[in-house]
Amino acid sequence: MELNVVAALAAFHFMHPLWLLALPPLLLWAGWSFWRQRRSGGWGDVVDADLLPALRLQTQERASSPWIPMALVWALAALALAGPTWQREQSTAFRAPEDWVIVLDLSPSMKATDIAPDRTTRARYAIEDILKAARDARVALIAFAGEAHVVVPLTSDVATVRSLLQPLAPGIMPENGDEIAPALTEAGLLLQQAASRHGKVIVLTDGFTDSTDALVAAKALKAQGAELQVIGVGTAAGAPVMNGSGGFLKDAQGRDVIATLPIDELQAVASAGGGRYWPLKDVAQLIASLPRDASNPLDQNALATKLEVGEWRNEGIWLLPPLLLLAAFLARRGWL
């Protein structure tokens, strides 16, 4: 305890000491005014000094004076503005926000039921888990089928992303198809607009038909500093694809269209984007790898998020209660 008091006294100083220059003239003026009132009550200018004691009323000597409270008010105000301090408080020097762009495949094949209840529902469950881990990250959501559509741009309002995720299903997409390249390009644009240097693009898909364009788009993401993670939704054996009327899609020969999971293609795209492929069952491991702390320790932004600075805490606020109390007394009628 004694050591803490000694340390506080040794560290005591004023953050804005120039305000202390208001004290000497103020105190001199208040002292002179008090002395002048006590000496003559203001009548010394018009009454002879020999007659003044005989004319002064006895009650006048006991009259209260506002000069002492006024001097205290101004002194406390000057001290508060000077900012007395004796201890530091730690704060983060800089925290670069993480940017995650989630890309959801809503092509017709995502209605397949090789994983219960269906691929789309399981993908939404995985996104819910990712959103729970977002914390301070900004999150965007893109859905794609024949074209890409930005559902939510980058935002720190994860609750909004979660609410708009629920109604997403293949049936709401305006065009059929299964092209991922436009979605990856759109994700790159969102990250560029946010000036993100280390964004993460997380794709949940069961495959795509534009493999060549997808590789080009993935490489472009990597070139701008983003990282592409691909989650495979489905099984290698696959399942028949349902149509809009409750039946199954047929090929030209009248056979059921089986939607399999092209793991090799998904791995190739993820590798081109500087990330890796994750089976749906390993989403928890992917989430554990997302926070910035798991990145390269030499990364400048990662180091910046761990830096802390000590700032002197202004304790002048504790002088405000007595200052306001004295000011309230001075506001009484007849004091000034």
- Separation of alpha carbons 39 and 50, rounded Å: 13
Residue corresponding to tokens 């794709």: 203
Do the strands 99-105 and 200-205 form a parallel or antiparallel pair, or are they unpaired? Answer: parallel
More confident residue, 203 or 92: 203
Contact (Cβ atoms closer than 8 angstroms) between residue 147 and residue 105: no
More confident residue, 94 or 175: 175
When the pLDDT of each residue in the chain is averaged and rounded to a whole number, the result is: 80
Buried b / exposed e along 184-223 (16+ C-beta atoms within 10 A): bebbbebbeebebebbbbbbbbbbbeeeebbbebbebbbe
- Separation of alpha carbons 82 and 100, rounded Å: 45
- Separation of alpha carbons 38 and 20, rounded Å: 28
Contact (Cβ atoms closer than 8 angstroms) between residue 215 and residue 265: no
- Separation of alpha carbons 126 and 203, rounded Å: 11
Q: Is the pLDDT of residue 222 over 80?
A: yes
- Give tens-digit pLDDT for 249-305: 665 566 767 888 999 999 999 999 999 999 999 999 999 988 654 344 444 444 444
Could you say which DSSP state residue 248 is in?
A: B
Among 32-36, 109-113, 274-278, the minimum mean pLDDT is found in 32-36
pLDDT band per the 50, 70, 90 thresholds, residue 73: confident
If you average pLDDT over each of 54-68, 230-244, 259-273, which comes out highest? 259-273
pLDDT band per the 50, 70, 90 thresholds, residue 66: low
- Separation of alpha carbons 124 and 167, rounded Å: 10
* % residues pLDDT > 70 (the chain): 71
- Give tens-digit pLDDT for 16-27: 888 888 888 776
pLDDT at residue 301 in the model? 47
pLDDT band per the 50, 70, 90 thresholds, residue 40: low
Would you call 14 helix, strand, or coil by DSSP?
strand
Contact (Cβ atoms closer than 8 angstroms) between residue 238 and residue 261: yes
pLDDT at residue 330 in the model? 73
pLDDT at residue 196 in the model? 86
Among 39-53, 124-138, 219-233, the minimum mean pLDDT is found in 39-53
Would you kindly state where each structural domain of the chain is located, as residue ranges? 99-306
The amino acid present at 91, given as its one-letter code, is S
CATH code: domain 99-306 is: 3.40.50.410
Contact (Cβ atoms closer than 8 angstroms) between residue 270 and residue 227: no
pLDDT at residue 92 in the model? 56
The amino acid present at 166, given as its one-letter code, is Q
Task: Reduce the secondary structure of 158-182 to three states and give it as a string.
Answer: HHHHHHHHCCCCHHHCCCCCCCCHH
Give all strands of the β-sheet with 227-232 in edge-to-edge order. Answer: 148-155, 138-144, 99-105, 200-205, 227-232, 277-279
Residue corresponding to tokens 């070139």: 223
- Separation of alpha carbons 158 and 164, rounded Å: 10
pLDDT band per the 50, 70, 90 thresholds, residue 310: low
Token pair recorded at residue 275: 């990330």
pLDDT at residue 303 in the model? 43
Contact (Cβ atoms closer than 8 angstroms) between residue 190 and residue 140: yes
- Separation of alpha carbons 161 and 166, rounded Å: 9
Would you call 198 helix, strand, or coil by DSSP?
coil
Average pLDDT over residues 205-232: 95
More confident residue, 318 or 143: 143
Radius of gyration (C-alpha) of the chain in whole angstroms: 36
Contact (Cβ atoms closer than 8 angstroms) between residue 76 and residue 326: yes
- Give tens-digit pLDDT for 114-166: 999 999 999 999 999 999 998 778 999 999 998 999 999 999 999 999 999 99
- Separation of alpha carbons 197 and 299, rounded Å: 11
Q: Where are the alpha helices (DSSP H) in the chain?
A: 2-11, 23-40, 52-55, 58-62, 67-82, 119-132, 158-165, 181-193, 211-223, 263-272, 283-289, 300-306, 320-330
- Separation of alpha carbons 30 and 22, rounded Å: 12
